[in-house]
Structure 1
């Protein structure tokens, strides 16, 4: 059969099928509702919308047989964008296009059989419809992915703004802190902690998928990545939940992580973020996770950093001019003595040294700072100063 004759017959096929577009589109919609779970379990896409998209798809393919289809794939692009906007999973969209392709093939086969066409015509017509269907499907899926990506970026940007408002204590339009918490799926009743993790480099996530990991232990959280810190508000509804959070952080952390004291009121989130940052910045060597204890001294030490640093300088005096090794040794001795409630023997046991060694080091602290451990006011100043030195 001559090429021109084949082209004419293919165009005739296209015209026959184009006349059946509405009936075929209805068959496709019925099959989609029957075979694709999303469409018969969800009302996000109306039957009219499915009919319109099926009709556009069929018309594009059949016009390719008639030779009247140009390079315009705008309807495919619009369908891809619309389904992404409607939240239809791409797999479900592709299933609907598979059903449409099957219907196109059945219709073409029936029309060819009715014309008693030879193999050359069948092959040429088949090549045209698959080429047209492929280009249409590719344009649709590309538009779907582009729009879904844009939506995800918009959603993430909106979520980041909500998290930042909650952490910083800012108002966002007419929303209260508790409104924002609910929008982020954070329970409105505490207790909470703030977690601060140091990025391995600016802008790099130090705790990838931490929200998802915490959900596996039934803990809700919201996170914000800043250039110098990864901050999270974490709901810890029980002592057991809190321990699960700390244990999980210990397993996944590769950089220093600080955990604030627990708090019940979302209005305390901003100050708790500061405590978490300070804990992160003072993680001891050999550790990766530090919990900020909520002792009176600890809170006092960090409440006004500029002021408390000056207090430490004044109280500790010449202590800061000592070699680092000496400072660490004296500070460790003082902490051990305090934890031992002033017992030299217990401090010596904790430090694995002789009690006289502890006494000698305590006298050195008195000499360097010119403050006596036996005078309550001066001891209080030393306790606060060493707490400040340890935390800031």
Structure 2
């Protein structure tokens, strides 16, 4: 008896749904107008990302398929392929997923209101059947919304991955100096950067100081915008400076860099980033292995010349520091450290003594010995240049 009663109920629901579906299909343009108006009237995103004609036509087709789906068994859901196709399209158009989900809620309201109107007008004696009809209607629309959301997110991830790959490829072309005029225009649009502006390139060699695990290099410091690319052992950043100076850039980097970094000169266009990248790497090569240290090329030009000419630098080292380097290890290292510290302290024996935790007279005696061994005087500017460049070569080059 119970099975017979359930069968009768199901037959009654199907009959009511068939009648409602026919009535809704007859009102399809009217229902389409109502849903499109409600969606676009309450969501600026649809007006921005989805053309009006596209929206109307796809809504009409979606309602038509959705109405006929009410009459289909669950295993015959012909609406879901359309739902997947439309969700992918909306993701490609850039419509936010929240706007898409709101559209399905409004579609459910429009559909249900139309079914209720039909029953009240044409079959008022079956108002009670609406409770069972609701299960079929809301299940169909909920399933569409679930499929649409999942499909949208998968497509969004695909698009983000492709966009990320494209952005990286464009950055690589700019940094490698292989970008022609067309690539530069594409990079300008994809990176949201003007073709001509004030840029610099930064190279950073690890480690990076961080306050918590997983912190990344900054995307913005003040008005400066950064775009980073990972290279073997270091990261490269394109910096859109705006009105900021290289002093501002260097000070900002000090907050995040505990390794070493090189900073290029300012360049005036995207096409110059390849040269800026090369100069930033040269600046970083003037840093010792231990950080923190940030090297600006415009402040390390003499040292860059040393590392760019290793053969000549070898001759310079031999001619200037040869006798000193021939000493026994501990003696040699003490004198080299003293010379480097004395130069860093701008010739102040007192300050050098403070750094090296010894007496001022000890520093003076070591400086005299260095002068005797090298034949150079640290009171003559030309000799100081020779000693400084030779010391840089010893520190930076595998001689």
Flag whether TM exceeds 0.5 (same fold): yes
Match of 1:138 in 2: 146
CA distance in 1, matches of 2:16, 2:187: 64
CA distance in 1, matches of 2:15, 2:295: 79
Q: Decide which of 45, 58, 67 is 1:62's aligned counterpart.
A: 67
Q: For residue 342 of structure 1, report the CA deviation from its aligned partner.
A: 4.2
Trace 1:4-23 onto structure 2 (pairs within 5 A).
4-23=11-30
Q: For residue 27 of structure 1, report the CA deviation from its aligned partner.
A: 0.9
Give 3-state SS (helix, strand or coil) of 2:203's partner. strand
Give 3-state SS (helix, strand or coil) of 1:193's partner. strand
Deviates most, 21-30 or 220-229: 220-229
CA distance in 2, matches of 1:127, 1:188: 58
CA distance in 2, matches of 1:278, 1:17: 74
CA distance in 1, matches of 2:217, 2:125: 59
Match of 1:246 in 2: 250
Trace 1:55-134 onto structure 2 (pairs within 5 A).
55-67=60-72, 70-72=76-78, 73-114=80-121, 115-118=123-126, 121-134=129-142
CA distance in 2, matches of 1:361, 1:173: 58
Q: Is residue 394 of structure 2 the alignment partner of residue 389 of structure 1? A: yes
Match of 2:172 in 1: 164
Instruction: Work out whether residues 263 and 283 of structure 2, in 8 Å CA contact, stay in contact via their aligned partners in 1.
Output: yes
Match of 1:360 in 2: 365
Q: Is residue 288 of structure 2 the alignment partner of residue 282 of structure 1? A: yes
Q: Structure 1 length normalisation: TM-score?
A: 0.80
Q: Is residue 43 of structure 2 the alignment partner of residue 39 of structure 1? A: no
Structure 1's 184 and 310: CA in aligned 2 closer, same or farther, altered over 3 A? farther
Deviates most, 60-69 or 135-144: 60-69
CA distance in 2, matches of 1:155, 1:296: 38
Q: Decide which of 352, 377, 385 is 1:373's aligned counterpart.
A: 377
Match of 1:208 in 2: 216
Q: For residue 120 of structure 1, report the CA deviation from its aligned partner.
A: 5.8
Structure 1's 187 and 38: CA in aligned 2 closer, same or farther, altered over 3 A? closer
CA distance in 2, matches of 1:289, 1:100: 59
Structure 1's 158 and 7: CA in aligned 2 closer, same or farther, altered over 3 A? same
Instruction: Work out whether residues 348 and 358 of structure 1, in 8 Å CA contact, stay in contact via their aligned partners in 2.
Output: yes
CA distance in 1, matches of 2:22, 2:352: 97
CA distance in 2, matches of 1:289, 1:341: 20
Match of 2:261 in 1: 258
Q: Is residue 240 of structure 2 the alignment partner of residue 235 of structure 1? A: yes
Deviates most, 300-309 or 128-137: 300-309
Structure 1's 244 and 5: CA in aligned 2 closer, same or farther, altered over 3 A? same
Structure 1's 186 and 18: CA in aligned 2 closer, same or farther, altered over 3 A? closer
RMSD over aligned CA atoms reads 3.6
CA distance in 2, matches of 1:124, 1:64: 16
Structure 1's 161 and 304: CA in aligned 2 closer, same or farther, altered over 3 A? farther
* Number of residues of Structure 1 aligned to a counterpart in Structure 2: 377
Structure 1's 363 and 190: CA in aligned 2 closer, same or farther, altered over 3 A? farther
- Deviations 1:63-122 (CA, angstroms, capped at 9, x unpaired): 232226723312111111111111112222222222212111211222232312546621
CA distance in 2, matches of 1:118, 1:320: 108
Match of 1:270 in 2: 277
Q: For residue 258 of structure 1, report the CA deviation from its aligned partner.
A: 0.2
Instruction: Work out whether residues 283 and 304 of structure 2, in 8 Å CA contact, stay in contact via their aligned partners in 1.
Output: no
Give 3-state SS (helix, strand or coil) of 1:195's partner. strand
Instruction: Work out whether residues 198 and 228 of structure 1, in 8 Å CA contact, stay in contact via their aligned partners in 2.
Output: yes
Instruction: Work out whether residues 193 and 233 of structure 1, in 8 Å CA contact, stay in contact via their aligned partners in 2.
Output: yes
CA distance in 2, matches of 1:234, 1:320: 45
